[in-house]
Structure 1
Amino acid sequence: MPPDTFVFKGKTQMRVMVMIKATPESEAGQMPSTELLTAMGQYNEQLVKAGIMQGGDGLKPSSAGARVRFSGKDRTVIDGPFAETKELIAGYWLWQVQSMDEAIEWVKRCPNPMLSDSEIEIRPFFEPADFGEAFTPELQDEENRLRKQIDGQMR
């Protein structure tokens, strides 16, 4: 089993973040049409019914955001907007799939999320096994405790 997978209900699974890349239009605050919102809602419904979608949202333009740069002990706040549109994210999903191939097939079914050409990136999450011996049983216990606490807050 690849290290970025795990077994859930008897099936090998992997968690991925699916990121919709920002465009000049999304960075300018251009909102999607009713038709696109409807199509995306239908697509999200398919993802939920398939048991894949765990979460997701659209993000406001980087002009509404900030970055914190770390240099040793120093922290510097940089207010948006940020110049490199191709490096920005306009939205995301959290999915649980059986493989990267399955995630790619689902992304191919997605309506174009932007008014012009767009790009969607898929990246797997690290799973505990990926960290090897550095992720000690004590650290695993702490991680599990925090996840349970988060789950309780989400309900």
Structure 2
Amino acid sequence: MRVMVFVKATEDSEQGMTPSPELDQMFVDMGKFNEELVNAGVMVAGDGLKPSSFGKRVAFDGPSRTVIDGPFAETRELVAGYWLWEVKDMDEAVEWVKRCPNPMFGPSEIEIRPLYEMEDFADIIPPEAAAIHDGVGEKLAKS
């Protein structure tokens, strides 16, 4: 089972990073945790994200596209970082998150969401679309 693990943003993370001994220790602790994930064969990918002031959103309404510049208002709804994990089930993902060092200096949250797999769509996806998605998956696997 693949899951996306989101480190939720805080007011501090939205301000960016300032060098400090606490930040140094956070990098060390998180590096060790990531190393554990890799050694266990759990971590597929992961990274931190710059504050939303560096980001953009594109709003869709039919054929219309509107670009919205960051920063974005609802800090608690933003993502500050992510992992992509391969785990046997949601319980395993929760156990790994519970072992994670606090990714922020104060209170913080990590959200875990399962990814859709193509078999989740087996009863509803047209064969032509399934073939396209399979081809994309094969190309990604080769890169």
Quick check: 31-40 or 61-70, which moved more? Answer: 31-40
Aligned partners of 1:35 and 1:119: how far apart in 2?
A: 19
| 3-state SS of 1:46 partner | helix
Match of 2:54 in 1: 64
1:108 maps onto 2:98 in alignment? yes
Which of 9, 17, 28 does residue 30 from structure 1 map onto? 17
Deviation at residue 66 of structure 1 after TM alignment: 0.3
| 3-state SS of 1:95 partner | strand
Letter paired with 1:78 = I
Which of 43, 49, 55 does residue 53 from structure 1 map onto? 43
| 3-state SS of 2:116 partner | coil
| 3-state SS of 2:17 partner | coil
Aligned partners of 1:86 and 1:25: how far apart in 2?
A: 11
Match of 2:139 in 1: 149
Quick check: 121-130 or 16-25, which moved more? Answer: 121-130
Deviation at residue 147 of structure 1 after TM alignment: 1.7
What TM-score do you get using the length of structure 2 for normalisation? 0.92
Runs of 4+ with deviation above 4 angstroms: none
Letter paired with 2:7 = I
What TM-score do you get using the length of structure 1 for normalisation? 0.86
1:93 maps onto 2:80 in alignment? no
Per-residue deviation, residues 15-64 of structure 1 (Å, max 9, x unmatched): 00000000000001135711110110110011011111000000000000
Unaligned runs of 5+ in 2: none
> Percent of aligned positions with the same letter in both sequences?
56
Aligned residues: 140
Deviation at residue 73 of structure 1 after TM alignment: 1.1
Aligned partners of 1:34 and 1:148: how far apart in 2?
A: 40
Letter paired with 2:3 = V
| 3-state SS of 1:122 partner | strand
Unaligned runs of 5+ in 1: 1-13
